[in-house]
Amino acid sequence: MFRHIRWRIAIPHVLLIVLVMSALAGSLSSLSRQALQSDLRRQLASEARLLADWSAPLVASHADGDALDRLARRAADLTGRRVTFIAPDGTVIGESHADRTQMDNHADRPEVSQALRGTEGSDIRLSHTQGRPMMYVAVPIRMDSGLIGIARVSLSLAQVDARVASLQQAIFTAAGVATLLATLISLFIAERIARPVRELTAVADRLSKGDLNARLTPSTRDEVGRLTLSFNRMARRLQEQVASLSRERSRLAGILEHMADAVIITDRDGQVQLLNPAATRLLALQPPQALGHSFRQLVRHPRLLELWRRAASCREEQTATIDTGAHGTYLHAIVTPLEQTDEQGYLVMLHDLTRLRQLEAVRRDLVSNISHELRTPLASLKALTDTLRDGALEDPEAARRFLDRMEVEVDALIQLVQELLELARIESGKAPLNLRATPVESAIIPPVERLRAQAERAGLTLTAELPDGLPEVLVDTERIHQVMTNLVHNAIKFTPHGGRVTVSAEARGDRVVIAVADTGVGIAPEDQPRIFERFYKADRARSSGGTGLGLAIARHIVQAHNGHIWVESQQGKGSTFYVSIPAAP
């Protein structure tokens, strides 16, 4: 019950009201009894003095007791009191309600003793003759000669008790009604106070559950009303702050989500608190698996762990370039202590340099390869020129042979430059495609027939296996002929005598996949990802001839057709090149 503020307010007030009204009723009851007894005592004293005046002649004349008894009874009938006359020695000489001859000496009675001393006396006690509480008032009877007796008037307190009980009943009834009304008023007031508190509590619960639009209309202008207004202002500011934090968090989440660099935040003990998708991809983790785990468990490379330990010990940013050795991954790592946050932690950023390193390797290979391709014909031209200058010009037959050889080398250089220009035009998009719906046979058969004589000279079987019902393809026929010529020519060049080269095609959904398969020497697994690079040759000695640009040109032509080219090969068992291009709508 006391868990509710309404009862915590009402019950103490009700108890206080009950205690106050009970004390007030008891006090009023006691005061009323005392007041009644005081009034009764004064009334009895007045009656006793009147009786003293009436009885003085009889007492002074020493009349017999019967006369005084009759006077006492007559007075009792008139007043409803018990009347007693007492001699100065304490002997009862007149009695209205009892046999005076059987009564004790009354000299020791308190009220009689006081009257014998010449003053008015009173007492309340149990009457031996009546057997009930009585109030006694005694006054001296005087004559000229002095004190001649005592007149005593008494009254049973049962009448007083009856009047007091009636008054007490009225007092307690009024107190009960007042208590009930006060209790109802207290409950009403407590409810009025508790209702806004309950409403505030309900609105606070809604806020805690995420309903930031929850508000409360103030119903009063007192402290509770001002509290309601303050609460609404607090809720509005909280909503604004949460909205601002949500926007900032969304921005931060968007940045972290799309960052190419891996971001990991750890606490001071190295427990991972946050990581972005780039980090999960780079470390091959799942966010639920990573969060709350140790940085040591997630990053097992010793150099990266040592970098984090140095940052933790020095409290300074640490930077290092790390070759993890795992799949050739090459990282630039930065570990920064977070000093501006409430909790000490560390920001770990990992920049994947693997692609840059691969591109650098490709660049070096490109420079090396193009230098090699240029050096051979240039060296031949230089040698031929020196030979001619040294006297070969004097020999017409030798001079003609050298000039023919120089022409061959110049043609090779021209072909190399033309292929480089062609590749540059295709990559830059400056070689527009003339796309039109073309039968697959028209895209494949002409290059195959053009190279069939070369295949026969090499002792190879060249066939084209095209099923019926193939859809047309949306291609630039001249460019696709260039791709097919390159693929078939390579297959012939790298297939030993007696081998087989097969060109086939099949429909796969909305695309047509063309395959050029051979039974040649195959391609090593480490060379397969790079054979479409410029000047790259799987033949390390570069003795196979060619410029190494054919497959790079083929790849860019296929990609310009919104297609895809790839290879599947096993060393010593042959290779299959696949070209996937869209079917005509």
CB 479 within 8 A of CB 489: no
Q: Where in the chain is the domain with CATH 3.30.450.20?
A: 5-163, 259-352
Architecture of domain 259-352: 2-Layer Sandwich (3.30)
CA gap 522, 568 in Å, rounded: 9
Phi and psi of 501, rounded to 5°? -125, 125
pTM: 0.42
CB 531 within 8 A of CB 546: no
Partners of residue 582 on adjacent β-strands:
511
Q: Provide the CB-side half-sphere exposure for 183 (13 A, CA).
A: 13
CA gap 508, 468 in Å, rounded: 14
CB atoms within 10 A of CB 265: 18
- Which pair of structure tokens corresponds to residue 429? 């998009």
- DSSP track, 354-413: HHHHHHHHHHHHHHHHHHHHHHHHHHHHHHHHHHHHTTGGGSHHHHHHHHHHHHHHHHHH
Widest CA span in the chain: 206
Phi and psi of 57, rounded to 5°? -65, -40
- Which pair of structure tokens corresponds to residue 541? 């000695």
Place of tokens 């003795």: 543
- The verdict on domain 5-163 having CATH code 3.30.450.20 is yes
Q: What's the pLDDT score for residue 103?
A: 83
- DSSP track, 424-454: HHHHHT-S----EEE-HHHHHHHHHHHHHHH
| Strand order through the sheet with 272-275 | 272-275, 262-267, 345-352, 330-338, 318-323
CA gap 272, 275 in Å, rounded: 8
Q: Where in the chain is the domain with CATH 1.10.287.130?
A: 357-428
Residues of the chain with pLDDT under 50: 540-543
Give domain 357-428's CATH number out of 3.30.930.10, 1.20.120.400, 1.10.287.130, 3.40.640.10. 1.10.287.130
Q: What's the pLDDT score for residue 542?
A: 43
Q: What's the pLDDT score for residue 292?
A: 67
CA gap 200, 558 in Å, rounded: 69
Q: What's the pLDDT score for residue 383?
A: 78
CA gap 76, 234 in Å, rounded: 85
Among the listed residues 47, 52, 37, the one whose alpha carbon sits nearest the alpha carbon of residue 148: 52
For the stretch 419-475, pLDDT in tens is 666 666 666 665 677 788 989 999 899 989 988 988 998 899 999 988 988 999 988
CATH number of the domain located at residue range(s) 436-582 in this protein: 3.30.565.10
Q: What's the pLDDT score for residue 566?
A: 92
Estimate to the nearest angstrom the gap between the alpha carbon of 440 and the chain centroid.
60
CA gap 233, 567 in Å, rounded: 68
Place of tokens 């420079």: 367
Q: Where in the chain is the domain with CATH 3.30.565.10?
A: 436-582
Q: What's the pLDDT score for residue 502?
A: 93
Phi and psi of 271, rounded to 5°? -80, 130
For the stretch 140-175, pLDDT in tens is 988 876 888 899 898 877 777 777 777 778 877 887
